[in-house]
Amino acid sequence: MRIIETRRAPNPRRVRIFLAEKGIQVPFEEVDLMAGALKTPEFSALNPMQRVPVLILDDGTVISESVAICRYFEELQPQPALFGEGAVGQAMVEMWNRRVELGLFAAVTAAFRHLHPKMSHLEVPQVAAWGEANKAKVVDMLRLLDGELAARPFLAGHHYSIADITALVAVDFLKAARLELPEGVANVARWHAEVSARPSAAA
Ligand SMILES: N[C@@H](CCC(=O)N[C@@H](CS)C(=O)NCC(=O)O)C(=O)O
């Protein structure tokens, strides 16, 4: 099997961190999304959404979407459980991962894609007003998460999970979007320092 990625892009990083937490090694193949590598007929045949990461299994099965790829590996190797354990634990991870994906990661990504000049050939049309509007959404969501992280070490409870991975990648992607952590989110800062110190964060 192999994973096609662009190393500096945030979604492939989610999968790399997930695999590092599991201790699973998979060969990665680099393509340059900025140079149009995802727009070719060959890549589009693998993933019609023209996005990385893409996992290709030895039998030719193609799995894209970062969370789908991570779920595949969770099923292959359940421990450490990064999608939660038990009915409640799994539901909590699903809930927080979706909230972070839709409320934070998507907003940071929109700010980046709609405002960064380098993205003008990939984000068509680039709507600057939408990028600007998402900056406030990012701040609101970080403040919400700050309140949550006052009460527990990790986003979905007492165990590190894919929700933390998604949030870590989203927070680190603030820099590319030319944003910063706002004032007054000390709990997010504490959590960010802790998850960044895990060896997987460097994957
Ligand atoms: N929902 C997808 C999103 C994948 C995605 O947006 N990947 C970005 C890189 S982080 C990409 O391939 N962008 C290519 C483009 O915008 O043309 C996932 O979770 O894998």
Q: Which amino acid is at 18?
A: F
- What DSSP element (H or E) covers 109? helix 106-115
**Centroid of ligand 1 to alpha carbon of 150 (angstroms):** 31
**Centroid of ligand 1 to alpha carbon of 88 (angstroms):** 30
pLDDT tens-digit series, residues 172-201 = 999 999 999 999 999 999 999 999 999 999
Angle between helices 66-76 and 10-22 (to 10 degrees): 10
**Centroid of ligand 1 to alpha carbon of 51 (angstroms):** 4
Instruction: Please identify every stretch of the chain with a pLDDT value under 50, giving residue numbers as ranges.
Output: none
The pLDDT value recorded for residue 161 is 98
The pLDDT value recorded for residue 136 is 97
Is 137 touching ligand 1 by the criterion CB < 6 Å?
no
